[in-house]
A = this chain, B = another copy of it.
Amino acid sequence: MPTDSDTTVAELRKIIADFVAERDWSQFHSPKNVSMALAIEAAELMEHFQWLTTEDSRKLPSDPKKLADVGEELADVIGYSFALANELGIDVSNAIRSKMVKNVKKYPADEFRGRYSRENDNQLG
């Protein structure tokens, strides 16, 4: 199976687009609805880490069953992210590159090394 190194974003987006088209589901995929679906999947992903300490959450990869479960939830989150990009006509690579240019300016490496905020900001946000 191809991996992230030999898979373009467009290829993954097409898998989602085909799945939606074959079921004629675009009618349900208003951006509002897809944004809800995405938030719901993000919550299901978070559920796996809910009662763990921050440190224990780092050990999850040592349990293959749990890692596979989390991988499925992450696939749902990214799948809906691509579904939303498909509906809205957003180029994901462009959006990420542009945002990261902003983040590099907002969080200069020298100033934020080892600290995630001047006070309490969300670092990638």
- A interface residues with partner B (beta carbon < 8 Å): 1-13, 15-16, 19, 22-25, 27-28, 30-33, 35-55, 57-58, 60-61, 67, 70-72, 74-81, 83-85, 87-100, 102-104, 107, 109, 112-114, 116-117, 120, 122-125
Contact = CB atoms under 8 A, between A and B. Distances in A.
A91 B28 contact: no
Instruction: Classify the interface of chain A: helix, strand, loop or mixed.
Output: helix
Copies of this chain, complex-wide, total 4
A40 B125 contact: yes
A32 B54 contact: yes
Nearest to A13: B4
B54 A33 contact: yes
Contact of A27 (B31, B85, B87, B114): B114
11 contacts: A4-B91, A4-B94, A15-B96, A19-B100, A31-B58, A32-B52, A33-B51, A37-B122, A40-B125, A43-B44, A75-B100
Nearest to A92: B4
A94 B1 contact: yes
Contact of A39 (B39, B91, B114, B124): B39
Contact of A90 (B2, B35, B67): B67
A38 B42 contact: yes
